[in-house]
Structure 1
Amino acid sequence: MTYWLIPIQEDMWEVIKEKGIYGYKENLQQYIKNGDLLIIYISKYYAKTYGGKIVGVVKVTSDWFYDETPVFPEEIVRNKAIFPHRVKVEVENVGVCDFRDILDKINFIEDKLQMAKYLRNAPANLKRPIPEGDAKIIEECLLLHV
């Protein structure tokens, strides 16, 4: 079981929770495997409520598959798949954890002044897994702010 930090647009979170699916523009099977845990981070872009915060942890419950059915809000608006590489997921934890509350406790963001570079693309953290100790700190933060 490996933890990965996954930045998403805020409107994708409801779909992930309700439909139990995560999608990306590229196939991430070389990184993310069935049984891994995805730490969901809401990107600040276009966010109204949760931008810059971690909102949950989901467990990957399938292998990667390709599906062009529009399910995410941006896909529905465009009537075409933008994130066709997908995995099924189950919600493990939900809450709201502000990175500022835990920044001094976590180690994967090595250069605190360059935090943004660790929070972009998928998987984030420069395509490296999140250390288990950091993941536990994040999960505790989520539980405190349900």
Structure 2
Amino acid sequence: MTFWLVPIQEDMWDNIQYDGVYGYKSNLSKYIKQGDDLIFYVSKYYATRYGGKIVGIGKVVSEWYYDDTPLYPEEKVRNRALFPHRVKVEVWITGACDVKSLIGKVKFVEDVVQLPKYLRNAPANLGRPIPDFDAKIIEECLRQTMYD
């Protein structure tokens, strides 16, 4: 099992949970495969509630496919798909884990001063998977914040 950190916009989170679809602007099949797990990080860009937090982990349950049907709120406003490369996901844990609370606990952040470089693009962490050890720490953090 491979864990990948993927940044999302806050308004995409409801769709990911309820529609079971994660989308990105380009095809990530070179990295993310069916059976892998996605760790969802909400970027601070336009976020009001979850910015800077990891909000869940979901299992990739399909191959990548292309769908230009507007799904996410921003896509519906613009009436065009911005994230047409998609996979189906089953979210298996949710919460609101502040990334800064993980500093010093996770190993994937090698340079704390440069934290943002580990949180942007998809997959984040400079295109590297998240170590299993770190994924367990993130999962525990999510479990502790499930009902906040």
- Same-fold status (TM-score > 0.5): yes
TM-score normalized by the length of structure 1 = 0.99
Task: Give unmatched runs, 5+ long, in structure 1.
Answer: none
The aligned residue for residue 109 of structure 2 is 109
Residues 1-146 of structure 1: pairs in structure 2 closer than 5 A: 1-146=1-146
Return the offset for 1:101. 1.4
3-state DSSP of counterpart to 1:14: helix
Give the Cα separation in 2 of the matches to 1:142 and 1:54: 8
Distance 2:81 2:96 in 1: 28
SS at match of 1:114: helix
By how many angstroms is 1:123 displaced? 0.3
Q: Distance in 2 between matches of 1:26 and 1:123?
A: 11
Q: How far apart in 2 are the matches of 1:127 and 1:3?
A: 11
Give % identity.
64
Q: TM-score, normalised by structure 2?
A: 0.98
Q: 4+ residue stretches of structure 1 with deviation over 3 A?
A: none
Secondary structure at 1:110's aligned position in 2? coil
Q: Quote the offset at 1:102 in angstroms.
A: 1.5
Aligned residues: 146
The answer for unaligned runs of 5 or more in structure 2 is none
Give 1:20 shift.
0.3
Query: What do you get for the CA RMSD once the two structures are aligned?
Result: 0.5
